[in-house]
Amino acid sequence: MPANVEVNSSMLPSNVLAPEADLDEQFALFVKQQNKVFSLILNGAELDRILFKAADVAETMIGGALCCVRLAGHGDEPPRIIATRSVPTGYLEPLNRLRDDDRDFPLSAAAAAEAPQFVEDLAAAAPSSDPAAAFETAPIYDIRAAWAQPMVGEGDAASGALGFFFRDRRAPTRLEMRMIEGLAGLAGFAVEHARNRDALSAADSRFAALADSIPGVVYQRAVSPDGDIRYTYISSAAEELFGVKPDEIVNNSGALFDTYGSEYRKDFRERLIQASKDLSMWDVEATIVGKDGKRKYTHAIARPTRRADGTVVWDGVILDQTRIKEAEFAAAAAEA
């Protein structure tokens, strides 16, 4: 396993000990570049694009570096490399062959040990027996030094590592170590954010499939402390029952309310707000008139939950009672 090199000023050549003003200027530039990566995260960019940008920024800030990101295996996904165009194409193959438990090469060792690995001279640090292919082929591609910083988010293990390769023997300066740590932390956040987003999207898809299989309209409605009423979710069955698309209802709750009869709408808001204050069950029958002019009968049942900010969230279902009501009317008419 390569040594985790502790770097101090006595190890560094004099030309890397820049004046303090220059260091401040470099760090300010780094923060500006780092913000470009953060902007991609906030705008929901694809993970590979974010990590490529992080590696690109690293190359910009660390002179002579050839950069890549190695994502550790996750679930059914194998480890993989995302590299800038500066990394020799042929070297990507041995890098992709690194295993998560390979502790003799900096790029895989950093994530496994959850500690930075700075190897100033790969030739001197190569293991004497069974070295990783990335070690053996480094001289072919004129790779002399390798650094790696683990990407650690809030999870239990590192999600991979940010890697740096150099054509010459090279140890990092203090400023470079700070920049590397910052970029790797941001890349780790990007990985965690993307995986959480994907997990949430998958959960939403499963819930939507379940909701669509239920006979009725599944919905979630929020009533804020100031009386604002909006639908945060409503299943696709809403279009069949009300004649209104779900996204129309989410964007404008009035699109749903307008389908109800005038008697129902007259005091609906007051009754819902009072039920929200009391946290009482919502169990209401109502008549609606769809866009096609057809009269239908509904039965809504919902349970309230009050959040910390005072908003009351209603989780419920609206059932189509039209056939039952029409049968009751027919039976009453026959009896009369």
Which pLDDT belongs to residue 199? 72
40-44, 62-66, 134-138, 168-172: the lowest-pLDDT one: 40-44
Residue 304's H or E segment, with its range, is: strand 295-306
Which pLDDT belongs to residue 214? 64
Instruction: Quick: pLDDT tens for 127-172.
Output: 877 788 898 899 999 999 999 999 986 666 788 999 999 999 999 9
Instruction: Quick: pLDDT tens for 187-203.
Output: 888 888 888 887 777 66
Which pLDDT belongs to residue 11? 35
Q: What is the mean pLDDT of residues 55-76?
A: 89
State the chain's mean pLDDT as an integer: 83
166-175, 204-213, 272-281: the lowest-pLDDT one: 204-213
Q: What is the mean pLDDT of residues 76-92?
A: 91
Cα 4 to Cα 117, 146, 156, 253: the distances in Å are: 5, 11, 21, 59
Gap between the Cα atoms of 40 and 333, Å rounded: 66
Q: Is the pLDDT of residue 20 over 60?
A: no
Q: Is the pLDDT of residue 268 over 60?
A: yes
Share of the chain above pLDDT 90, in %: 33
Q: What is the mean pLDDT of residues 52-70?
A: 91
**CA-derived radius of gyration, the chain:** 30
Q: Is the pLDDT of residue 4 over 70?
A: no
Q: How confident is the model at residue 15 (pLDDT cuts 50, 70, 90)?
A: very low
| Closest-CA residue to 76 (of 198, 205, 251, 217) | 198
For helices 20-42 and 174-213, give the axis angle rounded to 10 degrees.
10
Which pLDDT belongs to residue 211? 58
Secondary structure (3-state) at 282:
strand
Q: What is the mean pLDDT of residues 50-71?
A: 91
Q: Is the pLDDT of residue 332 over 90?
A: no
Tokens encoding 149:
């910083």
| Closest-CA residue to 148 (of 124, 114, 121) | 114
Q: Is the pLDDT of residue 27 over 60?
A: yes
Cα 68 to Cα 30, 57, 243: the distances in Å are: 18, 11, 52
Q: Is the pLDDT of residue 73 over 60?
A: yes
Q: Kindly compute the dihedral angle of the four CA atoms of residues 319, 322, 326, 328, in this order, to the nearest 10 degrees.
A: 10
41-45, 179-183, 312-316: the lowest-pLDDT one: 41-45
Between these two residues, 9 and 234, which has the higher pLDDT value?
234
Q: How confident is the model at residue 210 (pLDDT cuts 50, 70, 90)?
A: low
Cα 198 to Cα 65, 71, 186, 209: the distances in Å are: 32, 16, 18, 17
Which pLDDT belongs to residue 156? 62
Gap between the Cα atoms of 98 and 107, Å rounded: 8
Instruction: Quick: pLDDT tens for 96-121.
Output: 999 888 888 999 999 888 899 999 99
